[in-house]
Amino acid sequence: MIRRLLGGRTESRSLSFQDIWGRGLDMTSARTASGESVTYDTALTLSAVYAAIRLLSDSVSTLSLDVMYRSNGSEQKFRPLPSWVLSMSTELRNHEILGQVVTSLLLDGNAYLATLRDGTGRVLSLSVLDPTDITANLTTDEDGIQRLTFTSSKAAGVTLTSRDITMVRGLMKPGQITGVSPITAAREFIGLGIATQRFGAAFFGNGATPGSVIEVPGQLSPEGAQALKTAWNDVHKGSGNGSRLAVLTESAKFSKISLSPEDSQFLETRQATVQDVARLYGVPPHLLADASGSTSWGSGLHEQNVAFSQYSLRPLVTRVEAALTSIMRSEGIAVAYARFDLESMRRVTADRWTSYSTAIQTGVLSIDEVRAYEGLAALPNDLGTKHYVPLNLAPVDAEPDVSSE
């Protein structure tokens, strides 16, 4: 069944992102108060939306991925790795597959990973499906157990199960089985941003002149008025012609219509859009090229970057890890789990080694555990397995030792 679903999209693999996910939102609800239609495609034309999604997608998809398990209270690498973890697709690289998962989550609120299996149930490859083509349903089987099933217009009459498709969900409303699309939730201010962007293009395309009037004595025929307008625009309209010298004859007078207060707020509205998008996706504004409030979160840019890793990347990473772990469970691998190395991104080198030193001295981590965080092999002969604590520590309620007095 899953081959049939994937087979329906084989020829579209070479198409652009817009071709694959071009349908976007239901157009009946995509029209906003600003008059702009907000779909996945139009939302991506807003530079702040594109930049935020690219930043989050690239940040997660380029993290080092490994498979781990716990033994005797410590985390160990699981070997051998499942073959599909090494190569998730024959057509796309791993970071491209993972990037599509995150992008789907950030646009639609849901991502659907199709698993292609051999006759024994072993996973051969993964493929990210168009989220607008999949419908998730909660059905009840003969035993009264509710199960998640999926249907697709590309496989009419076929019902797929969680063994065929692994679903990754973003923010969910109570009682719902699908995630909320950030684009849908924020379509009003995204529509405002698109409208502002369109206004700016028209404004500067008109030589940054919002409107002007040429007065001539007497009365012009409609043909004469149109000829004068055309002649003026041919010389002065356009972003590169706004400052060209104008020569008026026949007592003609040029009058410029001043900007309205609303029009003069164009740049402020553009900046507010960046801040709204940053808030929507939990991205520090300075990472979207807006450093105007760089000290408003934490005490500076470093604190913002740490918070970005903790509060923006970690939730995405956890969702993708859970999906990959679920696929391993379906193969019968019960003890292993997927883990991205988020710690390497979050810690600055100097801070990292200071933290390691403190953790070793207080017995929180062993030397081998620190080496594992750094991707290094354990010390031989179990030399790095011990935990150390300072000898001068004692419980606060302990009686003082007076034997030496």
Lowest mean pLDDT among 10-19, 37-46, 203-212: 10-19
pLDDT class for 335, splitting at 50, 70, 90?
very high
Single-letter amino acid, residue 2: I
pLDDT class for 26, splitting at 50, 70, 90?
very low
Partner residues linked to 134 by β-bridges: 152
pLDDT class for 403, splitting at 50, 70, 90?
low
Nearest to 61 by CA among 15, 128, 139: 128
pLDDT of residue 235: 61
Higher pLDDT, 394 or 94: 94
Mean pLDDT computed over 211-239: 67
Helices (H) and strands (E) in the chain, counts: 16, 11
Q: How far apart are the first and last CA of the chain?
A: 83
pLDDT of residue 310: 85
Partner residues linked to 135 by β-bridges: 151
- Read off the pTM: 0.72
Tell me: the pLDDT tens digits for 357-396? Answer: 888 888 888 898 888 777 778 888 888 888 888 877 766 5
Q: In what order do the strands lie in the sheet with 123-128?
A: 123-128, 110-117, 165-169
3-state helix, strand, coil split of the chain in percent (to 5) is 45, 15, 40
- Alpha carbon of residue 188 to chain centroid: 19
- Cβ neighbours around 140 below 10 Å, total: 9
